[in-house]
Amino acid sequence: LGGWSVSGVSVFQTGTPFSIYDSGGGSAYVGLTTVPGVTANFAPGASLASGLTSGSIESRLNHYLNINAFQKDPVIGDDGAATGFGTLGRNIYHGPFQQNWDFSLIRTFSLTERQKLRFTADFFDIWNHPAFSLPAFTDVENPAAFGQIISTDNNPRIIQFSLMYSF
């Protein structure tokens, strides 16, 4: 079309799966006060749906998860401190939905029969949509920071121009 061409790539994906942990869980069986990778429990009456907060992702950055839907693993044994294992499955939640749109606009000019000049404008993340990362803290032992999303997984919009001379 008169030396013009366009190109684009769009990506849409669900968020990455993640788990809710209790770093103090499982101590009755492992003998450690902090056990990595042990899941927590739902609070009484809580469900998978009640673990997530509602609203737009931008309004949920400080509270993507509802801390009140979860509880620490149960205390078992005579010492009152040793804990059992949680009942939540691994990777039961997904992080925020992500999308990315890249676009290129290209114009080729014929200078002579064998010489051409090609101008390209590339737009990476043209709509500048943030791709929010997973909640940074999903350990019920850390309620102050629980469920907060504190970073993004993508770069902001990048615009790149190029000029190519071919002969």
100-120 average pLDDT score: 96
Domain span holding position 71: 4-166
State the pTM of this model: 0.77
The sign of the dihedral angle between the CA atoms of 79, 82, 87, 92 is positive
Whether 42 and 160 have beta carbons less than 8 Å apart is answered as no
First to last CA, the chain: 22
What pLDDT digit, counting tens, does each position of 2-27 carry? Answer: 899 999 999 999 999 999 988 877 66
Report the domain count for the chain: 1
**Residue of 126, 156, 151 lying closest to 7 (CA atoms):** 126
